[in-house]
Each structure stands twice: as C-alpha cells, then as structure tokens.
Amino acid sequence: MRKKKINKAHFPVGKGPEGVAVHPNGQHLYVANQDDNNLYVIDKDSFEVLFKRRIGACPVRLVFSPDGKYALIPNRESGDLSIIETEQQINGQIRPWEVKRIRVGVWPGGTVFNPEGSYAYVANNKTDDISVINMHTLKEEDRIDAGIHPDGIAYLRK
C-alpha cells in the first residue's frame, strides 16, 4: 500500500502569532506576533514575508476596515491601538505603515468596525469599557461602559 503524500505549507512568522487575517484584496496575510511586538505582512501565494513592522507591546487580534484601507491591532500590554494604513505611499513605494497609535483602555482586545467603516470599537478588558474610534479623525471619541471584562466583540444592527 502506497502512502498518500500530503502537501503542507509551513512558513515563518514571528513568535507568538495571535492576530491573523487575510486582507480584503485576498493577496496578503497579516500576522500580529505578541511575543515579538511586531506585524508580518505575507504574500499568500509565495508565503514570503513582504514587510515586518514593530508595533505596540503584545499585539493581539487584527481586523481590517470594510474597505481594506486600515488594519487595527490592539496592543494588550501597552494599552493602545495600532492603526496600519495598508497602502501608505512612502518614498515612491506603497507599503503598510503604522500611521497612528491611539491610547485606549487597559488590556484592549476584541475590535470591530461598523458596516460603513466610519467607527471602530475596541473592548478594554481591565477598564470594563469599549473605546469608540472615529475612523475619519483617527481619535478615540467616547467610551461605553461594558460591564465586567469585555473581550470578544461583535457589531449587530437592529
């Protein structure tokens, strides 16, 4: 009896990969590595690391805006939110770039956008609230009391 050959693809990412998502363009895989405090952007066909960026302390989770313009990554230990513009033009090259880091509550985690992408919401586990981020100004606009230890989050329409 012949053994069936299984094709497995293994590719390097940083230490402690926690936030993983495919960009809406379907071509890039973003990986937030919580032990290395960085972000890898990987070509999904070749598995080549295209970009590596340092971000906040202990990045967890990762979510794209509906239009794919931004990737938001909450950084647990530094209590902030990295805002990555996925196609920032720098010196004639287009690449992902952290355009802002916003201070949010303590131990941010789950992050979600409203369907239009005009607001993002970040669950802050240790301050028991949710940060409301205006995506036009890239600023925290409000905090919503959420009860004990919010972490995962979803956006529901009425």
Q: What is the mean pLDDT of the chain?
A: 93
Strands 108-113 and 119-124: antiparallel
> What are the structure tokens assigned to 94, written together?
């287009």
Distances (CA, A) of 11 to 26, 40, 47, 89, 110: 18, 12, 6, 27, 26
pLDDT (tens digit, 9 = 90+) per residue, 7-30? 556 788 899 999 999 999 999 999
CATH topology of domain 17-145: Methylamine Dehydrogenase; Chain H (2.130.10)
Quick: pLDDT tens for 52-81.
Answer: 999 999 999 999 999 999 999 999 999 999
Give the chain's count of helices (H) and strands (E): 0, 12
Number of neighbours of residue 76 by Cβ within 10 angstroms? 20
